Amino acid sequence: MSFRKASFAATAMTLVTAGGALAETLTIATVNNGDMIRMQGLTQDFTDRTGHTVEWVTLEENVLRQRVTTDIAAKGGSFDIMTIGMYETPIWAANGWLVPLDDLSAEYDADDILPAMANGLSHEGTLYAAPFYGESSMLMYRTDLMEKAGLEMPKAPTWQFVKEAAAAMTDRDNDINGICLRGKAGWGEGGAFITAMSNSFGARWFDEDWNAQFDTQAWADTLNFYVDMMTESGPAGYATNGFNENLSLFQQGKCGMWIDATVAASFVTNPNESTVADKVGFALAPDNGLGKRSNWLWAWALAIPAGTQKEAAAKEFIEWATSKSYIELVAAKEGWANVPPGTRTSLYENPEYQSVPFAQMTLDSILSADPKNPTVDPVPYVGIQFAAIPEFAGIATEVSQEFSAVYAGQQTVEEALAKAQALTNDAMEAAGYR
Amino acid sequence: MATRQSRSAARLMMAPAVILLLGWMLVPLIMTLLFSFKKYLPLRGGDLGWVGFDNYIRFVSSSAFWPSIYATLVVVGGVLIITVGFGILLAILLNQPMWGQGIVRILVIAPFFVMPTVSALVWKNMFMDPVNGLLAHLWKFFGATPIEWLSQASLQSIVMIVSWQWLPFATLILLTAIQSLDSEQLEAAEMDGAPPLKRFGYITLPHLGRAITVVVLIQTIFLLSVFAEIFVTTGGAFGTRTLTYLIYQRVLESQNVGLGSAGGVYAIILANIVAIFLMRAVGKNLDA
Amino acid sequence: MARAVTRNRKIVNTALAWGIGLLIFFPILWTILTSFKTEAQAISDPPVFLAFDWTLENYGIVLERSNYMRFLWNSVIIAGGSTVLGIIVAVPAAWSMAFVPSRRTKDILLWMLSTKMLPAVGVLYPIYLIFIRLGILDSRTGLVIVLMLMNLPIIVWMLYTYFREIPGEILEAARMDGASLKNEIVHVLMPMAVPGIASTLLLNFILAWNEAFWTLNLTAANAAPLTAFIASYSSPEGLFFAKLSAASTMAIAPILILGWFSQKQLVSGLTFGAVK
């Protein structure tokens, strides 16, 4: 088969180029998401091709972040490859902590990477991390419940429609909630959702002078709308629901709609895990008529810390894991619906992948996200559901904790916004922005 | 009894432990103090120079500071009250004649062997989840609306999880103390017709004084630094941000080592205030 | 008649104690049961207690994904190494405190305990940098040292309280017979203190086994113990209760079994000087 051939060729090539190349052992830190777990299972293919072996350090997202950040800031050298996101990449690259990925092989075809993803993972035009999978967010809904409510989901719904549809689909007696959304504290959890949502309401984190903007009407509108809708049609305890909790609820048939990461589409349509696999439709994340939708952009990517002794082997791994042939390898073993999505143009041009039900909507969502112009009013930062500055993760986690306290009924929207405003300005002052 | 020779030998023998601990205390302490007067931001290039008392002022003037002290005291105090209270009752019960005492004792001490991370994960997902948790099913079975434990009763939930882990420790120490109680004294009191509550108040409780002090002392040291239980369950939301957790947020989430270090110094001060109180109490009880 | 009363009381005691014991143990039991369910059964409504199709599937998945034996071995080495090393350092110190007390002994003891109150996260960066300098990042040696230092105050305290209960006259007698200090400790003191040392060993082994801050933050692939193993199973995507339960069971089973077999030693020695 073509794989076998490619594998031989690759082995031969490494032997020639490296001149009796040393078989290295790479230590790779990664997050425990499904696609990465699958990659671990396929490591043998990489070893067969290159002779290098891999030691995996797989950690839960929050632990991974603290672990790799400490290591790279202290120059610990514990890892040869780190799995990082769109938030970390530009910051770390600006510090000179990452090896530029500007010399990848022609066969790898770096130009094939979706421009939105490549832009988000670059610093001053140079790629510093290769996307393993990319995502935007979109609306997933139950076609059967929609029909029962006598409604039809447009391809690009508004928030007002979503709110009304959620109320119509809600059936508390049968444990069906019209809409499930993230409310869990944490900048990458509920914080990411509400920030992306606020963009469509015309809100922003900072004005062009880095002043916090939580005292604006746009933020109050966002939070009030969210809280009203969730009180009316959301599940109990949504203040602690993150991606995984909502995924589980949706798979159990307890949600009418769910707006979340596009990668969730393959989980909710997988008949082995989902009780509603054949009743899911997709639409763009809602807007509010202001020209910005509420979808985000994110990629989990592989990067090499500067100073590693095993740069060449690490690059070989990155080329393998984010290549077209890796996608084909997964497709051959697990089917097209399970390949890592959102990274390559060629994948979305592949007729076999186009027949996957959520492929087109995923691509449309990714294409409609613009990290460089995320908001209605101009902002000094890059990033949609985050601002790519080192202070953001800490501030946004605290802000989202204040918001979650609103969702749990422990304080009012006004109180939360006042606290958010104060703590954001305080932290920005400490960091020397103001 | 102690000759000069044995005194110097004793000093020599104490030296390794004292020197090691002195190093283990001083090196981090000095570094914490040093960083606390600096603007130290790892993501912005590390050491950005001296800033005087800025970090100290900023740390206490943050709206999160006093709530974090409150949360710390509630967690430590709540767990102490629960573990000591239930610990005494359990110890008395386990000291009674019964069948299968050994097995019951095993069941009771088991939570102490469970890693904090694991116990937090298990409680959060399998018990306190408002939809799929066992407690939610139980509430629904009785026709009640399930409690959203980790948001509506967040501090109580954390106190409950931590108490579950430390109850065995308290019970064991108190049990050993009760077993050493002179049973003749109790029987004599029983003969004299003293009601059980009086017997408990006048004989058992005073006898347990020393054990209770020890439990409080040792547990406080561990409870002041409770972290995994909060990290896994609420991530510091809903008023569960203790001082330790606040420092974690400053150092690792905000990557502001200077600010976090100033928080560390406050934590040391708080720990010492608590320690002074405790040591007064323990000191009295420890004098042999 | 008195006999009937005690018998009734014994029945009540037994029922009450078993009830409470099972209640306290239930979360662990439930985790173990869930680890044998499928993911769908793990969240089924109403929950199933015993009547489900028992499966080893979750253990298979976990074993396939992670090198469990390596995590386990690291945990054993780190917890065991730090405890044994701690006891070697602590025995002489505890001996001199117990048998040659000075005015400052109590202060030193309490000071030692107070070193445990420094919040660990505040010194993560300093310690990390020191570890890099010494080249012991992600090594078992490094963790053995850190955990030994962390638990040393507790070890000294426990040993001190046991040693104090040994009558000084016996040591005097040994000394009269011409025993050297070393002989005195090894041949006279240690045998008498075995129960105390055993329980110190066990308690600190448990504490080191369960330590989850340094063991997670100072390791990568080589020295990671079971606390890191668990961090790869918490909150992933999709249904995970059953897999989490299997991983949790595997992380706590070794220490639980050890604890059960040694509970007599642990219980008999665990007094911290609470009993006079």
- Residue C182: its pLDDT value, please? 75
Mean pLDDT of A386-393: 93
pLDDT bin (cut points 50, 70, 90) of residue C52 is confident
**Mean predicted lDDT score pLDDT of chain A:** 92
Number of Cβ within 10 Å of residue A390's Cβ equals: 22
Domain boundaries along the sequence of chain A: 2-128+297-354, 138-296+381-430
- Where is C234: in which H helix or E strand? none
- Residue A197: its pLDDT value, please? 97
Q: Which residue among C125, C228, C231 places its CB closest to the CB of A74?
A: C125
| B48 is a domain residue | no
Question: Cα–Cα–Cα angle for C259, C261, C264, nearest 5°?
Answer: 85
Q: What is the pLDDT of residues A29-65, one digit of tens each?
A: 999 988 999 999 999 999 999 999 999 999 988 899 9
Q: Is B137 on the interface with A (CB under 8 A)?
A: no
- Residue C180: its pLDDT value, please? 76
Topology alike, domains A2-128+297-354 and A138-296+381-430:
yes
Distance CA C224, CA C140 (A): 8
Distance CA A380, CA A394 (A): 18
| B4 is a domain residue | no
| B6 is a domain residue | no
CB contact under 8 A, C238 and A63: no
pLDDT bin (cut points 50, 70, 90) of residue A300 is very high
Q: Which chains touch A (3 or more CB pairs under 8 A)?
A: B, C
CB contact under 8 A, B93 and C234: no
| B199 is a domain residue | yes
CATH annotation of A2-128+297-354: 3.40.190.10
| B11 is a domain residue | no
Q: What is the pLDDT of residues C215-259, one digit of tens each?
A: 999 999 899 999 999 988 877 666 688 999 999 999 999 999 988
Structural domain including B82 reads 65-240
CB contact under 8 A, B145 and A95: no
CB contact under 8 A, C112 and B224: no
Q: Is A244 on the interface with C (CB under 8 A)?
A: yes
| B26 is a domain residue | no
- To the nearest whole Å, the CA of B250 is away from the closest chain A CA by 7
Whether the Cβ atoms of residue A243 and residue A261 lie closer than 8 Å to each other: yes
pLDDT bin (cut points 50, 70, 90) of residue C263 is confident
Which residues of chain A have a CB within 8 Å of the CB of B46? 73
- Residue A1: its pLDDT value, please? 39
Q: Which residue among B145, B146, B253 places its CB closest to the CB of A397?
A: B253
- Residue C5: its pLDDT value, please? 65
ipTM computed for the complex: 0.89
pLDDT bin (cut points 50, 70, 90) of residue A13 is very low
Mean pLDDT of A14-21: 46
Is the predicted pLDDT of residue A288 greater than 90, yes or no? yes
Number of structural domains found in chain B: 1
Mean pLDDT of A328-351: 94
| B87 is a domain residue | yes
- To the nearest whole Å, the CA of B108 is away from the closest chain C CA by 5
Which residue carries 């120490």 as its tokens? B173
- To the nearest whole Å, the CA of A296 is away from the closest chain B CA by 22
Class of A138-296+381-430 in CATH: alpha beta
- To the nearest whole Å, the CA of A147 is away from the closest chain B CA by 26
CB contact under 8 A, B255 and A419: no
Mutate to test the interface with A, among C39, C214, C237, C244 (most CBs of A within 10 A): C237
| Percentage of residues in chain C having pLDDT higher than 70 | 94
CB contact under 8 A, C231 and A60: yes
- Residue A19: its pLDDT value, please? 42
Domain boundaries along the sequence of chain C: 2-59, 65-269
Q: Is the dihedral of CA B274, B276, B277, B283 positive or negative?
A: positive
| B23 is a domain residue | no
Number of Cβ within 10 Å of residue B30's Cβ equals: 11
Can you list the residues of chain B whose pLDDT is less than 50?
Answer: 1, 288
Q: DSSP assignment, residue C47?
A: P
If DSSP states are collapsed to H, E and C, what string results for chain B? CCCHHHHHHHHHHHHHHHHHHHHHHHHHHHHHHHHHCEEEEHHHCEEEEECCCHHHHHHHHCCCHHHHHHHHHHHHHHHHHHHHHHHHHHHHHHCCCCCCHHHHHHHHHHHHHCCHHHHHHHHHHHHCCCCCCHHHHHHHHCCCCCCCHHHHCHHHHHHHHHHHHHHHHHHHHHHHHHHCCCHHHHHHHHHCCCCHHHHHHHHHHHHHHHHHHHHHHHHHHHHCCCCHHHHHHCCCCCCCCCHHHHHHHHHHHCCCHHHHHHHHHHHHHHHHHHHHHHHHHHHHHHCC
Q: What is the pLDDT of residues C180-208, one digit of tens each?
A: 777 777 777 778 888 888 889 999 999 99
| Percentage of residues in chain A having pLDDT higher than 70 | 95
Which chain C residue has the Cα nearest residue A71?
C128
Mutate to test the interface with A, among B248, B255, B259 (most CBs of A within 10 A): B255
- Residue C95: its pLDDT value, please? 83
CATH of the domain at B158: 1.10.3720.10
- Residue B283: its pLDDT value, please? 63
Q: What is the pLDDT of residues A83-133, one digit of tens each?
A: 999 999 999 999 999 999 999 999 999 999 999 999 999 999 999 999 999
pLDDT bin (cut points 50, 70, 90) of residue A5 is very low
Q: What is the pLDDT of residues C66-92, one digit of tens each?
A: 999 999 999 999 999 999 999 999 988
Class of C65-269 in CATH: mainly alpha
Q: Is A309 on the interface with C (CB under 8 A)?
A: no
